[in-house]
Amino acid sequence: MRIVATAEVPAVARRAFAPLGEIVVRASFADEPLTEILIVRGTRLDGATLASLPELRAIARTGAGCDNLDVAAATRRGVPIVYAPGVGSHPVAEGTVALILAAAKRLRELGTVVEHGTWASRYEVVGLDIEGACLGIVGYGSIGRRVARLCSGLGMETIAYDPALDQLDEPELVPFEELLERADVITLHCGLTDATRGLVDRRLLARLKHGAILVNVARGPIVESEDVLADALASGQLSAVALDVFPTEPPRPGHPLYADPRVICTPHSVGLTARWNEQVFGALASDVQSVLAGGQPANVLNPEALSADRTPRPIR
């Protein structure tokens, strides 16, 4: 069976999919028309690409979002998209807390003091007290809830905004404007939609508490551009930024934002732990096998693609 991954996969993924076949890694599908199972890692999969894969039987999506997939086109083709919701929530939440701490304690700047031997300048770098600081969580789903629990344990006051929710006991659910005014640290955990694309723009940043910290581990295009962040840092409106996702990926390495020592970056990988790999690829392989056997996968983005009269097709 022809199994293609759009980016490199770990050994645990190859072991999980071994009963179905060997995984090959291809950034382009131009020469892979015989692909039957497609493992999508970050790559955009549009209708035209799907049309070039006539043998495709299932798509396995490793991440939480589906904004890079043409779900409607896959459904029309009768190609189910399996995924593993919730599996990565805790690793991403832990990574979020690590970024919050790194930004608040200005670890990149302090590391530069040691690296450059400017020892006396260490007194000029003053971090934020986490205990008692207000954390504003935008998007209170599985990841946001875990971040709240972890940060509450650090003594942070946690508030949240999520238009899909009406009431929360803990943390406090507040209007968006109030969150922007109160939060010392804002962390983004909302999905990428028409309403959230470009949400963080100059006008929003101007409404933040002066010197706030912004953390984004959700989707890069929620931030309008690197320029708006660079300008907010230059003015002091933001005191630090931590990013695991970027307006364009991979980001432009020459942009001044990434040279600023107040910016902490990870390459869209803060939640990719050993346990995450094992659980995600195990779940995906199991669900792909269910699809091929004519069964019901545990998690499928487009159940409409699973027709009632499906018959198992042999694994070649």
Residue 312 has pLDDT above 70, yes or no: no
- Average pLDDT score over residue span 282-292: 96
CATH topology identical between 3-87+273-305 and 89-265: yes
The count of C-alpha atoms lying within 13 angstroms of the C-alpha of 120, restricted to the half-sphere facing its C-beta, is 0
pLDDT for res 211 = 97
CB–CB of 283/85 below 8 Å?
Answer: no
| Of 83-87, 100-104, 297-301, the least confident | 83-87
- Average pLDDT score over residue span 63-79: 85
- Average pLDDT score over residue span 166-175: 80
CB–CB of 137/171 below 8 Å?
Answer: yes
Share the mean pLDDT of the chain.
Answer: 92
- Average pLDDT score over residue span 24-38: 85
User: What is the longest distance spanned by two Cα atoms in the chain?
Assistant: 74
Residue from 2, 106, 189, 268 carrying the catalytic annotation: 268
Tokens 């645990």 sit at which residue? 12
Q: Is 268 a catalytic residue?
A: yes
Residue 313 has pLDDT above 90, yes or no: no
What percent of the chain clears pLDDT 90, i.e. is strictly above it?
Answer: 78
Residue from 57, 189, 219, 226 carrying the catalytic annotation: 219
pLDDT for res 169 = 65
Give residue limits of the domains in the chain. 3-87+273-305, 89-265
pLDDT for res 203 = 97
Question: Residue 62 CB: number of other CB atoms within 10 A?
Answer: 23
Q: What is the pLDDT of residues 247-264, one digit of tens each?
A: 998 998 899 999 999 999
SS3 225: coil
Residue 56 has pLDDT above 60, yes or no: yes
Which CATH homologous superfamily contains domain 89-265?
NAD(P)-binding Rossmann-like Domain (3.40.50.720)
Q: What is the pLDDT of residues 222-238, one digit of tens each?
A: 999 999 999 999 999 99
Q: What is the pLDDT of residues 105-138, one digit of tens each?
A: 999 999 999 999 999 999 999 999 999 999 999 9
- Those residues whose C-beta lies under 8 Å from the C-beta of residue 287, and which sit 6 or more positions away, are 60, 82, 297, 298, 299, 300
Residue 174 has pLDDT above 80, yes or no: yes
Which CATH homologous superfamily contains domain 3-87+273-305?
NAD(P)-binding Rossmann-like Domain (3.40.50.720)
Got the DSSP string for 60-118? EE-SS--TTB-HHHHHHHT--EE--TTTTHHHHHHHHHHHHHHHHTTHHHHHHHHHHT-
Work out the pLDDT band at 97, boundaries 50, 70, 90. very high
- Average pLDDT score over residue span 190-219: 96
pLDDT for res 308 = 47
- Average pLDDT score over residue span 210-221: 97
Would you report the helix, strand and coil content of the chain in percent, each value rounded to 5? 35, 15, 50
- Average pLDDT score over residue span 154-179: 89
Residue from 249, 252, 275, 313 carrying the catalytic annotation: 249
Size (the chain), residues: 316
- Average pLDDT score over residue span 289-300: 93
- Average pLDDT score over residue span 184-209: 96
Q: Is 36 a catalytic residue?
A: no
CB–CB of 71/45 below 8 Å?
Answer: no
Q: What is the pLDDT of residues 34-48, one digit of tens each?
A: 899 999 987 888 888
Backbone phi and psi for residue 108, each to the nearest 5 degrees, phi listed first: -65, -40
- Those residues whose C-beta lies under 8 Å from the C-beta of residue 111, and which sit 6 or more positions away, are none
CB–CB of 6/30 below 8 Å?
Answer: no
Question: Residue 77 CB: number of other CB atoms within 10 A?
Answer: 19
pLDDT for res 33 = 84
pLDDT for res 32 = 81
Query: How far is 232 from 211, CA to CA, in rounded Å?
Result: 9
